[in-house]
């Protein structure tokens, strides 16, 4: 397990609610006026986590100027899920995976993780290189989902996709240059929804690995949707089809 900083009310609150045992230390702003910060301090005491008072300048230095909202925690973060576990997860009859090929914006990754947790995704797969990892910004945007959804950091994404396919998982890629709508694709059974990066989309080898390519139909003038918005639409369409 690695040690991370949790910044802000949502990230710290989620850790207290779901994983208080891995909070090493909690720091709250001296004389904090925000009632939610005071509530978090009381909640921490109830759970056996002693809050330490620090002035705002000290919290700024600790977080490198990050948006901490008066509360910061040192946290033992769960290690990424080993790739070898994917085959076991894929054995479930309705296993749902999310593959993000090169998402670099931490807010987007956080929002994707939040949608993944809400839709019951078995694991999120991201490439180890050329993509954002789990950062304090990601944790804040994910509102606690970053440590409740198993994350696989793939050294070789093409090889990991092959592993999923050999385990019986169908890969459905979302792109903008095909005519087949997502709603016409059967998303029941073991499925991985695959999306590319914010700017360039998915890489060639990733696209070629997909069993199906589909688009999200749009009627307006925008060329594409934000990757986190597209992720939410796709995952909840899969959820809808599964009843």
The predicted-structure confidence for 152-178, as pLDDT tens digits, reads as follows: 999 999 999 999 999 999 999 999 899
Structure tokens that stand for 42 in this block = 């009381």
Three state DSSP letters for 135-155: CHHHHHHHCCHHHCCCEEEEC
Domain ranges (residues) in the chain: 2-77, 83-241
Q: What is the pLDDT of residue 1?
A: 42
Q: Which of 95, 104, 166 is nearest to 124 (CA)?
A: 95
Q: Which of 146, 100, 121 has its CA nearest to residue 239?
A: 121
Instruction: Dump pLDDT digits (tens) for 66-76.
Output: 889 999 999 98
Considering the domain 83-241 in this protein, what is its CATH number?
A: 3.40.1280.10
Tell me: domain 2-77, CATH 3.10.129.10, correct? Answer: no
């Amino acid at each position: 397990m690695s040690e991370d900083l949790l910044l802000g009310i949502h990230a710290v609150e989620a850790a207290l609610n779901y994983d208080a045992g891995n909070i090493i230390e909690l720091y709250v702003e001296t004389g904090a006026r925000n009632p939610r910060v005071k509530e978090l301090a009381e909640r921490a005491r109830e759970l056996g986590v002693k809050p330490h008072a620090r002035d705002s300048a000290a919290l700024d230095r600790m977080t490198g100027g990050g948006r901490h909202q008066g509360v910061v925690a040192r946290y033992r973060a769960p290690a990424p899920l080993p790739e070898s576990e994917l085959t076991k997860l894929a054995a479930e009859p309705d296993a749902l995976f999310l593959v993000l090929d090169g998402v670099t914006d931490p807010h987007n990754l956080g929002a994707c993780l939040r949608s993944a947790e809400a839709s019951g995704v078995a694991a999120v797969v991201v490439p180890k290189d050329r993509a954002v990892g789990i950062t304090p910004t990601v944790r804040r945007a994910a509102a606690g989902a970053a440590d409740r959804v198993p994350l696989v950091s793939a050294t070789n994404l093409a090889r990991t996709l092959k592993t999923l396919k050999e385990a019986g998982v169908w890969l459905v890629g979302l792109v903008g240059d095909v005519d087949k709508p997502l709603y016409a694709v059967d998303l029941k059974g073991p499925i991985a929804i695959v999306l590319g990066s914010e700017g360039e989309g998915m890489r060639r080898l990733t696209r070629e690995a997909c069993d199906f390519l589909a688009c999200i139909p749009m009627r307006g003038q925008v060329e594409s949707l934000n990757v986190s918005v597209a992720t939410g639409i796709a995952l909840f369409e899969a959820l809808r089809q599964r009843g």
